[in-house]
Amino acid sequence: MMMLGLMLLFMWVGYLVGGQNGMIMAFVIAAVMNFFAYWFSDKMVLRMYRAREISEADHPRLYRIAKRVATQAMIPIPRVYIVPSKAPNAFATGRNVEHAAVAATEGLLELLNDDELEGVIGHEIAHIMNKDMLVGTIAATFAGAVGILASMARWGAIFGGYGRSDNRSNNAIGLLIAVIVAPIAAMLIQMAISRQREYKADRIGAKVSGKPLALAAALKKIHTAPIRLNLDDRPATAHLMIANPLSGKGFTTLFSTHPPVEKRIELLQKMVYETAYNTY
């Protein structure tokens, strides 16, 4: 439903600002930009964080956990990386299960016990299973296209041209909404989609690993750790992390790629209760 809303917003803004040709042009530009990132995201992100690929001989603990969870999920074993950072975090990347990678920071490996680490790896492998890279790319494409259309409208207003709006003198309010409100609305929908994918990865990952409480404990430890992975200069990768240091509280959660950690922990604990109740 949120993806449909994003597409409808794009169509409305496109019709208002640039007509059919404007819509096509904005969509093509956004699609090229985002699908290039989708295709090469694994290489770019891993290089950005100076991640080092490991084998079972290099780091038996992490590799065997990743292998065990992938086997339980019935997918190929992803490439496994370690990020040289003391901040506890992890992420998954890759365009499909055949080209997937999971990465954990040195800080995460030091902070978590085996069960908690398995819960985190389960969450990351769930992202791979759920094709979240593809879903995120599609959402980013439509949101980006709305932003491009808004930029077209702004430049049109500066130079006295409004595309289809030239013949509609009473459409100034609609154009203003398209320029200012629509990009914000598109971003809010995109962030909401990202948060829902995090909830789903928690749920699926906990089922795959069979350790929802361990994942909940890991999230709490990561959230309360004094060291944070520096994403200030890398906001484009924030959505990949299992815990986003850029997440806010209250109203600011609307602009966050991740749901509140407290809510995620609550839902994981609820999974245990529901499983026990159904078993009984």
Catalytic residues: 124
Side-chain-side CA neighbours of residue 70 (13 Å):
19
In angstroms, the CA 26 to CA 30 distance is 6
| Residue 201: both structure tokens together | 């990865």
Instruction: Enumerate the β-bridge partners of residue 81.
Output: 53, 103
Region for residue 250 given its phi and psi (left: phi exceeds 0; alpha: psi -120 to 50; beta: otherwise)? left
Asked if residue 102 lies in contact with residue 66, where contact means CB atoms within 8 angstroms, the answer is yes
CA dihedral 112, 115, 117, 123 (to 10 degrees): -140
